[in-house]
Amino acid sequence: MKYCIFVERIFDDKCFEALKGFCKKHPGKVKLFCLTPVNYELAVAEQGFNGTKEQLSKLMAERYKELESECNIDLHLHFGMRLENIDQERMMKEALDWMTERFKKPEYITYGWYIHNEESSRCENKFGLKFYNDHYNFSFHDYEYDKKFQWMMIITNLRGMLR
């Protein structure tokens, strides 16, 4: 089995340790889709981060670097619920630049809440990214590390495979 993990709470020590352990336990079978500091406001409002954007950037870089040898790291980006009010190109470029400066250029992208549109596709093409739509992996968020084999998580993944 392969695993697709959406990394949104990398700053949480408990989540990070669980993620590190999971990646070591499943070498070569884990694909991480990681947020960047472009989603700083989301990290604060939804995930509970309580530092500055610079602190988040530094912590993300250190922790992703530590995971890089065990996993493939690609881009996870939250635009928001109302795409017509978002400068997707600016956000995608900022996220991609941040990743490329610190790691290899991501090959794939996934979107928060699975919300994307034609503009997202245009930006993917412009920046040489591919939308990751492989539902044959078991997917979960980093903060769901203790729930990954509960019934609701299994049903969610089965539903994803049927898309």
pLDDT tens-digit map of 10-39:
999 999 999 999 999 999 999 999 999 999
CB atoms within 10 A of CB 37: 19
Give the per-residue pLDDT at 142.
85
Domain that residue 109 falls in: 3-11+30-162
In a domain, 16, yes or no: no
Give the per-residue pLDDT at 145.
75
Give the per-residue pLDDT at 114.
87
In a domain, 24, yes or no: no
> Residue 126 CA to chain centroid, in angstroms?
20
CA-to-CA distance for 9 and 15, rounded, in angstroms?
7
Strands 3-7 and 108-111: unpaired
CA-to-CA distance for 31 and 136, rounded, in angstroms?
12
Kindly indicate the confidence band of residue 139, based on its pLDDT and cuts at 50, 70 and 90: confident
Rounded to the nearest 5 percent, the helix, strand and coil shares of the chain are 50, 15, 35
pTM (two decimals): 0.88
Q: Which residue has the tokens 């995971």?
A: 67
In a domain, 71, yes or no: yes
CA-to-CA distance for 88 and 92, rounded, in angstroms?
6
CA-to-CA distance for 9 and 21, rounded, in angstroms?
15
Q: How many domains does the structure of the chain reveal?
A: 1
In a domain, 20, yes or no: no
In a domain, 61, yes or no: yes
Please, are residues 64 and 103 in contact by the beta-carbon 8 Å criterion? yes
Dihedral sign for Cα atoms in the order 90, 93, 98, 101: negative
In a domain, 51, yes or no: yes
Give the per-residue pLDDT at 161.
47
CA-to-CA distance for 161 and 138, rounded, in angstroms?
9
